[in-house]
Structure 1
Amino acid sequence: MRTLTVHHLGFMEYTAAWEVQRQLARQRSSGQIGDTLLLVEHPPVITLGNKARPDHIRAAPEALAERGVAVVQSDRGGEVTYHAPGQLVAYPIFKLSQHGSDVGRYVRGLEESVIRVLASYGITGERVAGLTGVWVRGGAAKICAIGVKLSASGVTTHGLALNVDPDLSGFDLIVPCGITDRGVTSLAAELGAAPPLAEVAERLVGQIGEVFDLQPVATVQRSV
């Protein structure tokens, strides 16, 4: 079984974590490192994927500034999303050729990992046909957003954002993932109380390992 190195980055600005991804992706591409997973929380930030529409940011720049919400144009796939404290963000730096060489299959694997984590808390996570991410309550509310990028050398960056206990009012600032007729939720909202984010992270690492046939062996705290 191949190994998975996990980096716990803690609380880190989106652009700083993005630079860490790029550094590690170059190392993964050249074979200096194996498959790697970054876990991080971001301060409030709206990110725009390559399909994002500017009008899907509902708040004026002045209102965003007052709330301390940054806006970043990302190179990931997808549309507009929101990150904030209480959200567990996971960035797999994987060589896709070792995981089926199929981006769609890879994304389904990320969804499956999250669905299994939710099941461990008694929550039924679901897929919605034609949409990416993980949903609950018959597809009425999204609990996990997914947006990825594949480099020319076949290495993945970006990943998933699982809502553990963020301030959900932040999602009112955007049209989440460009979807107007469905809500956003969190583990805290579904359970009535938030499980510890570190516990959710541990379960997510385990499930990603199982789904992608990787053995998590090294945990790095705030170090790359």
Structure 2
Amino acid sequence: MSQPTTVNWISLGRMDYDEALAIQMSQRDALLAMEGGAQTVFTVEHPPTITIGRNGSAANIVASEAELLRQGFTIREVDRGGDVTYHGPGQLVVYPVLHLGPFGNDVSLFVRRLEEMVIQALAEEGMTATRLEAYPGVWLGDKKICAVGARVKRRANGEFVTSHGIALNVATNLAHFQTIIPCGIQDKGVTSVAEELQQEASVEIWEEKLRRHFEQQFSARTETVDWSRERESRA
């Protein structure tokens, strides 16, 4: 029986989008350049941020620039798939930066595994989540609880390298989604763990849930890496 793949698990805490993106891209570029083989998952919470994916349009931002400025939002165009989405406090963002050789080098399977780890974590709390045909992400009825927006590039040996990932609404301020048409979908809503359970929900607790299910879905073993020490070692 093959040994499980070891994946570094790095919690960045609450961090500006640009800083977290730079960390993620540095790790991705090292993998693409074959300069290291470390499989890594970053988790983070962002301050209020709207991102526009490669298939997106700024027309799906419906709040005025003045209103977004008043609420402290930033807007960024990014190279992930998908349209417009929101990140903010109370939302757990997971960025797997992996080379997919040990995981079958199958991009579709990678995305399904990300979705499934969320579906199984929600099931632990009695929430029956599903996929919807033609609508990426994880859904409770017609409300999205987790967005999926991955990006892959191929490195010299043919392996795909992943970046970006998923955003699970744990205790997110759902009113902030009114600033956009989430993912460009006008006839569906959004929800959160706290909203569905009608109780407080902890990002830290849900990170541990997703971590367990990541290990199960990817047949991996995760190791906690302290980011403050890791940052010093990279300096």
Report the TM-score when normalising by structure 2.
0.91
Do residues 128 (structure 1) and 109 (structure 2) align? Answer: no
Question: What is the aligned partner in structure 2 of residue 110 from structure 1?
Answer: 114
Counterpart CA distance in 1 for 2:224 and 2:56 is: 36
Counterpart CA distance in 2 for 1:172 and 1:151 is: 33
Question: What is the aligned partner in structure 2 of residue 163 from structure 1?
Answer: 169
Question: What is the aligned partner in structure 2 of residue 150 from structure 1?
Answer: 152
Question: What is the aligned partner in structure 1 of residue 61 from structure 2?
Answer: 57
Do residues 192 (structure 1) and 198 (structure 2) align? Answer: yes
Aligned-CA RMSD value: 1.2
Counterpart CA distance in 1 for 2:144 and 2:189 is: 6
2:27 to 18, 24, 28: 24
Counterpart CA distance in 2 for 1:62 and 1:200 is: 34
Displacement, 1:31? 5.0
- Structure 1, gaps ≥5 residues long: none
Displacement, 1:194? 2.5
Displacement, 1:106? 1.1
- Equivalent pairs counted in the alignment come to 222
Counterpart CA distance in 2 for 1:68 and 1:218 is: 32
Counterpart CA distance in 2 for 1:133 and 1:220 is: 29
Do residues 172 (structure 1) and 178 (structure 2) align? Answer: yes
1:206 corresponds to which letter in structure 2?
R
Q: Which runs of 4+ in 1 moved over 6 A?
A: none
Counterpart CA distance in 1 for 2:31 and 2:125 is: 33
Do residues 3 (structure 1) and 2 (structure 2) align? Answer: no
Counterpart CA distance in 2 for 1:141 and 1:194 is: 19
Instruction: Specify the SS of the correspondent of 1:162.
Output: strand
Q: Is the 8 A contact 2:80 2:150 kept in 1?
A: yes
Question: Quick one: structure 1 residues 144 and 31, their matched pair in 2 at CA, closer, same or farther if it must change by over 3 Å?
Answer: same
Displacement, 1:165? 0.4
Counterpart CA distance in 2 for 1:106 and 1:2 is: 14
Q: Deviations over 1:124-160 (max 9, x none)?
A: 1110011110000x3x100000001112322100000
Q: Deviations over 1:9-60 (max 9, x none)?
A: 0010111111001111123332524211000000000000001111100011
Displacement, 1:168? 0.3
Counterpart CA distance in 1 for 2:193 and 2:200 is: 6
Query: For structure 1, which segment, 26-35 or 5-14, has the greater mean C-alpha deviation from structure 2 after superposition?
Result: 26-35
Question: What is the aligned partner in structure 2 of residue 90 from structure 1?
Answer: 94
- Structure 2, gaps ≥5 residues long: none
Instruction: Specify the SS of the correspondent of 2:96.
Output: strand
Counterpart CA distance in 2 for 1:79 and 1:103 is: 19
Question: What is the aligned partner in structure 2 of residue 79 from structure 1?
Answer: 83
Counterpart CA distance in 1 for 2:38 and 2:217 is: 17
Question: What is the aligned partner in structure 1 of residue 41 from structure 2?
Answer: 37
1:111 corresponds to which letter in structure 2?
E
Counterpart CA distance in 2 for 1:3 and 1:14 is: 26
